[in-house]
Amino acid sequence: MSTFQIKTHQPGRIYHKPHFFILNKGLNSGKPFTAPVRNSFVVSTESVEQKEALFHLSYMLLEAKCYRFYLKGSVIPFIYIADVKNLLIKNSKYFGQKDFETKLKALKKVEELEVVFQNKLKAIQELKSVLLRYCKLEH
């Protein structure tokens, strides 16, 4: 991984380089987002490929619960920007490996399937609601 910058996101700021956001407060600290969210860091990269790779790496770190070790605070847990940056740098060495690329492609396919199933589930719930609405039940 050549270079990337991570900074605290300021609402209203416009970013011109490819970027994504990482939540920094709460039990979901480390969760990556493509849209700006409150209480987040912004990761800016030089290319879209870098952004995609770092985004998915951050997602993998979240799912592997790697961020949990670095959470601070008792009421509202949070993570330091340095901890997130160090985790991304330490794990970015896997980008060139064939195994990482294979897992990244598989993860993208799983995400696409997840969207399809969510849409199907939504349609089934709407159908169920319509069917129940038109049952002739007495009050």
In the chain, where are the structural domains located? 4-95, 98-139
What is the rounded average pLDDT of the residues 36-58?
90
Q: Taking the CA atoms of the chain, what radius of gyration do you get in angstroms? A: 19
What is the rounded average pLDDT of the residues 106-124?
93
Q: What's the pLDDT score for residue 64?
A: 87
Q: What's the pLDDT score for residue 139?
A: 64
Q: Strand pairing partners for 41?
A: 8, 22
CATH 3.40.1190.20 assigned to 4-95: no
Contact assessment for residue 38 and residue 11, using Cβ atoms and an 8 Å cutoff: yes
pLDDT at 21 over 90: yes
For the entire predicted model, the pTM comes to 0.77
List pLDDT tens digits, range 63-110. 889 899 999 988 999 999 999 999 999 988 877 777 877 887 888 899
23: which residues sit within 8 A by CB, 6+ positions away? Answer: 29, 30, 31, 32, 33, 37, 39, 40
Q: Indicate the pairing of strand 40-45 with strand 32-33.
A: unpaired
The one-letter code for the residue type at 50 is: Q
